[in-house]
Chains A and B, each alone.
Chain A
Amino acid sequence: MDASIPTKPADAHIDGPVRAHVVNLSFYYGEKQALFDVSFPIHDRKATALIGPSGCGKSTLLRALNRMHDLYPGNRYEGEVILYPEQINIVSPEVDPMLVRLKIGMVFQKPNPFPKPIYDNVAAGLWVRGIRKKSIVDERVEQALKQAALWDEVKDRLRTSAYGLSGGQQQRLCIARALAPDPEMLLLDEPTSALDPIATARIEELMAELAPSVTIVIVTHNMQQAARISSYTAFMHIGCMVEFDKTTTIFTTPKESRTQDYITGRFG
Chain B
Amino acid sequence: MPDHTAKAFDSDLQDLARMVAEMGGLAEKQIADSVDALAKRDTALAQRVTQLDASIDALQSEIEEKAVLTIARRQPMAVDLREIVGVLRLAADIERIGDLAKNIGKRVIALNSEFPPPKLIRGVEHMADLVLGQLKMVLDSYARRDVSKAMAVWRGDEEIDAVCTSVFRELLTYMMEDPRNITFCIHLMFCAKNIERMGDHATNIAETVHYMIEGRQIADKRPKGDTTTLTALRTAADG
Contacts and interface: CB of A to CB of B under 8 A. Distances in A.
A130 interface: no
A263 interface: yes
Contacts, number: 40
B76 A264 contact: yes
A251 B6 CA distance: 19
A267 B48 CA distance: 49
Contact of B9 (A223, A265, A268): A265
B5 interface: yes
B77 interface: yes
A260 B77 CA distance: 9
Interface stretch (B37-45, B78-86, B127-135): B78-86
A253 B214 CA distance: 8
B78 A265 contact: no
Sorting the interface of chain A by its residue count into under 10, 10 to 19, 20 to 34 or 35 or more gives: 10 to 19
Contacts of A135: none
B3 A254 contact: no
B25 to A, nearest CB: 28
A173 to B, nearest CB: 30
Contacts of A268: 5
Nearest to A266: B2
A266 B77 contact: no
B6 to A, nearest CB: 6
Indicate the member of A253, A263, A266 with the most B CB atoms within 10 Å: A266
B1 interface: yes
B229 interface: no
Nearest to B74: A265
Given A252-B215, A253-B215, A253-B216, A266 B4 contact: yes
B5 A254 contact: no
Interface string A93-127: 00000000000000000000000000000000000
Contacts of A209: none
A264 B80 contact: yes
B5 A227 contact: no
Contacts of A267: 5
A227 B77 contact: yes
Interface residues of B, number: 18
B1 A266 contact: yes
A9 B51 CA distance: 61
B2 A261 contact: yes
B221 to A, nearest CB: 22
Contacts of A263: 77-78
A58 to B, nearest CB: 18
B81 A265 contact: no
A224 B74 CA distance: 11
B5 A252 contact: no
Given A252-B78, A253-B78, A260-B79, A265 B5 contact: yes
B81 A252 contact: yes
Interface in B27-79: 74-79
Indicate the member of B5, B75, B77, B80 with the most A CB atoms within 10 Å: B77
Interface string B68-112: 000000111111111000000000000000000000000000000
Given A252-B215, A253-B215, A253-B216, A223 B5 contact: no
Contact of A266 (B5, B81, B216): B5
A223 B215 contact: no
A193 to B, nearest CB: 16
Nearest to B76: A264
B78 A251 contact: yes
B16 to A, nearest CB: 15
Nearest to A222: B75
A254 B78 contact: yes
B75 A264 contact: no
Given A252-B78, A264-B76, 18 more contacts: A223-B77, A227-B77, A251-B77, A251-B78, A252-B81, A252-B215, A253-B215, A253-B216, A260-B78, A261-B2, A263-B78, A264-B4, A265-B74, A265-B80, A266-B1, A266-B3, A266-B4, A267-B5
12 contacts: A223-B77, A260-B78, A260-B79, A261-B2, A263-B78, A264-B77, A264-B78, A264-B79, A264-B80, A265-B74, A265-B77, A266-B3
Pairs A-B, 9 closest by C-beta atoms: A253-B215, A263-B77, A266-B2, A264-B80, A265-B4, A264-B77, A266-B4, A265-B5, A224-B75
